[in-house]
Amino acid sequence: MKTVKNIIFYLCLPLLISGFGQADAAIPPDRLISADLKALFADPPSVKGYPYQELFKKAAQRYGLPLPYLLAVARGESFFDPNAVSSKGAIGLMQVMPATAGDYGVKKEKLFDPAENIDTGAHLLSDLNTRLNDPYLALAAYYCGQGGVDIDNFTIREDCNEYVHYIHSHLEKILKKAGQHLPDSAVMEKHFVLTVFDNFLDAQSFVKFLSEKLPLMQFEIFRKEAALQDHNRYQYQIMAAISGKKTKNEVCAMVEKASGFSFCDGKGE
């Protein structure tokens, strides 16, 4: 049985060769993602079945943003956890920094209130989109501030660009369900972590690989802070859904049989 390290090396090698030393490079937005975001703003689809749906809907209408755009940010930032707190101090569903909330007259403790958190995050995104006049640049600035965006040359820092790719992957999940007959209330599936990548594009390639092997299974990518010895950084967790009556071990066995890679340690439900 091959180990996860083998496939990480296999997927990472081309990027390591081509991207070494380019972490702070200024690059233009991805044209396909940019087109997707502009189309979303021009004609947003109807979506439902998400946590705090009505609060997101009200905020989207109040600040002139597409509902899926807001949902994608919340899905990628916190997976709809109103109590999420990052090591840097970002809080709640939209992972709003207390200092940013203060600019909008919202106190830190109020950020644990889903209504206040969603409203503040949506207000910030709307202001960024108005200021930068581009939904792609607005997403980049939401993560890294306007210092990571060069509006004159229409370029962004590479780590900011990776964030936009990451949020776009969550947007794709939301848009895929648009128009389906989903319940108005949210039904959240249980997930568990298969493995972790340091680079989003590697994680995305691996999810594509798994999805081709197991098209009926659901895999997610969730960005998580990792505390290292001298600093914190983001890593990308590959998560598998536990649906129906299947246990974690049964899902692990299916993934290992189909992919040839061993992930699970035999623990879990």
Q: Residue 65 class from Cβ within 10 Å (0-12 exposed, 13-18 middle, 19+ buried)?
A: buried
Residue 227: the pLDDT is 66
Quick one: tokens of 135? 């939904």
pLDDT at position 217 is 87
State the pLDDT at residue 265. Answer: 63
**Given this model, what pLDDT does residue 264 score?**
75
Token representation of residue 112: 């644990």
User: Whole-prediction pTM value?
Assistant: 0.81
Along the chain (269 residues), what's the average pLDDT of each consecutive run of 10 residues? 45 38 73 96 93 96 98 96 92 97 97 98 98 96 93 92 95 84 55 88 91 90 76 82 80 88 63
Looking at residue 202, its pLDDT comes to 92
Active site residues: 77
SS (H, E, C) 129-196: HHHHCCHHHHHHHHHHCHHHEECCCCEEEHHHHHHHHHHHHHHHHHHHCCCCCCCCCCCCCEEEEEEE
